[in-house]
Amino acid sequence: MATKTVTDASFQADVLEADKPVLVDFWADWCGPCKMIAPALEELSEEMADKITIAKMDIMENPNVPGKMGVQSIPFLVLFKDGQPVAQQMGAAPKNALKGWLESQL
């Protein structure tokens, strides 16, 4: 399963009401580091599909949720469990570091 696209309109249902943890990648098309971690997130989305959903939210097209969450720098990753943000990470990281961080939070 590839990463899921989340919007301001779908955030409640796709993230807050999800039945398993959701990692939201707040990103933008002009962000170089965002593009660098995108392939790693795609791979992790497939490798960890039974444990977690990985979602992407374009902050330029969807300003409401990132604004409420105080997103000021991207890429900004937030892990939600049971509708609550439980962990966050700012900036790009290699795939193995992202996977280790996620596994330690699940």
Residue 34 falls in the annotated catalytic set: yes
Residue 83 falls in the annotated catalytic set: no
Helices in the chain by DSSP H: which ranges? Answer: 11, 32-47, 64-69, 95-105
Marked catalytic residue, from 23, 31, 92, 93: 31
How far is 42 from 67, CA to CA, in rounded Å?
Answer: 25
Marked catalytic residue, from 6, 34, 55, 93: 34
The owner of tokens 């959701």 is: 22
- Give the residue numbers annotated as catalytic, written as ranges: 31, 34
